[in-house]
Amino acid sequence: MQVSDWTTERRKTRQISVGKVAVGGDAPITVQSMTITKTADVEGTLQQIYALAAAGCDIVRCTCNESEAAEGLAQIVPRSPIPVIADIHHQYKMALAAMQAGVHGLRLNPGNIRRPEHIKAVASEARDRGVPIRIGVNAGSLDPELYDKHGGPTPEAMVESALREIAYFEEVDFDLVKISVKASSVPLMVEAYRQLSAVTDFPLHLGVTEAGPPPAGLVKGTAGIATLLMEGIGDTIRYSLTADPVEEAKAGRQLLEALGLRERKNVDLIACPSCGRAEVDVIDIAQRAMKAFGDRQLPLQVAVMGCVVNGPGEAREADLGIAAGNKRGHLFVKGRNIAVVPESEMVEALVEWAEFINEHGTEAAIARADTALAEREAAKDRSMLLNAQGADANHSDAKIVEIRKTVSG
């Protein structure tokens, strides 16, 4: 008997796409997390995103609480290896600015963006751009009117809040929606999701909000999320821990694997999405690397990065990676440069080093390498690329000009 035979059949939901990641329908259940950096800190946020991706996170959310954050997103989105969702509270203009920055999705809290004209303005723009929105109802920030009507944050009040938002969206013909009805109380969120899943077929994002630090936060998150998943409810999940968000991503991944809902891969290959800085065809190299790794039993995270300017730093959590620059491949282990190979040998070198690391560990790989030489060569190619491409290879500055007009208009 398969593990999945013990769970209720998964409830059928519609499918939407968050960037390249499908959510709902028969798509694998995905793991989400949220950065805790200031979104305006582009490099710090990207490093956290890469660490999250390496830990098994499929979709990441970043706060977009001020115009500097929206401008940061204009630079983060082209370099993020996983789809980026902007978290919006109170200010609908931040949702518009985030879409100008190119985000793959939005999260709106119906409890704090309440004016119908604002909700509809955001939904219309999202419809035109094909950007999905999560209706993120939270028991702690419920619309005061619904709070009074239902005598508190009851499951019924939370479901009504979500349905009201959907009604506004329907007025402007927008249906790229997923929904969450989170609470810090496990019984409350479980019941709210059960009621919601009975009345809608939009994909559901599960979570116990403000669950607190581990281990109690992990227990609460698992209690709520696993209960619903075993009932066939839920299409994407997030643990909310008072901890490094990497712990959230790991917990999400481990829970799905424990329930038999996601398979562990051999090599976990992560790759940058490529952007204006890319020096090679990242998709081609990533595909060739996947093929070369095949079924080899190498439980390592391996990163394929488009440029040596940012690649080793962005993917410094990966066990092994390669970044392109000046027709050469720069290999790195845990963010440290270890070797330089001709571009034509990048894939073979990756496989060879992955096998060495699998047998001897990352520290032995670093000890074996001439790191000083590799770092010197990487620095040379990095500065050559910066001279050739300038500092704004992704043309983020033009988007930032548009964002400033929206926010100040």
> What are the residues binding ligand SF4 (CB under 6 A)?
79, 272-275, 277-278, 305-307, 309-311, 314
Q: How far is the CB of 332 from ligand SF4 (least distance, A)?
A: 12
Q: How far is the CB of 282 from ligand SF4 (least distance, A)?
A: 6
Scan for tokens 């609480």, then name that residue: 65
Phi, psi for residue 305 in degrees, rounded to 5: -120, 140
Helices (runs of H) and strands (runs of E) counted in the chain: 15, 15
Q: How far is the CB of 322 from ligand SF4 (least distance, A)?
A: 11
Please identify, using beta-carbon distances, which residue of 157 and 275 lies nearer to ligand SF4: 275
Q: Token digits for 237?
A: 């999940």
CA separation for the pair 276, 290 (Å, rounded)? 24
Rounded to 5°, the CA angle 320-325-331 comes to 20
Q: How far is the CB of 43 from ligand SF4 (least distance, A)?
A: 10
Q: How far is the CB of 252 from ligand SF4 (least distance, A)?
A: 24
Please identify, using beta-carbon distances, which residue of 93 and 316 lies nearer to ligand SF4: 316
Please identify, using beta-carbon distances, which residue of 138 and 274 lies nearer to ligand SF4: 274
Q: Which residues, at least 6 apart from 171, have a Cβ–Cβ distance to it below 8 Å?
A: 120
Q: How far is the CB of 390 from ligand SF4 (least distance, A)?
A: 13
C-alpha distances (whole Å) from 15 to each of 27, 87, 92, 203, 275 are: 8, 21, 26, 7, 27
> Minimal CB distance to ligand SF4: which residue?
306
Please identify, using beta-carbon distances, which residue of 208 and 280 lies nearer to ligand SF4: 280
Please identify, using beta-carbon distances, which residue of 65 and 396 lies nearer to ligand SF4: 396
Scan for tokens 């690391």, then name that residue: 357
Q: How far is the CB of 393 from ligand SF4 (least distance, A)?
A: 7
Strand, helix or coil at 138?
strand
Q: Token digits for 299?
A: 């439980």
Please identify, using beta-carbon distances, which residue of 336 and 404 lies nearer to ligand SF4: 336
Closest CA to 64 of 32, 107, 31: 107
CA separation for the pair 252, 248 (Å, rounded)? 6
Please identify, using beta-carbon distances, which residue of 110 and 306 lies nearer to ligand SF4: 306
Phi, psi for residue 75 in degrees, rounded to 5: -95, -25
According to DSSP, residue 82 is labeled S
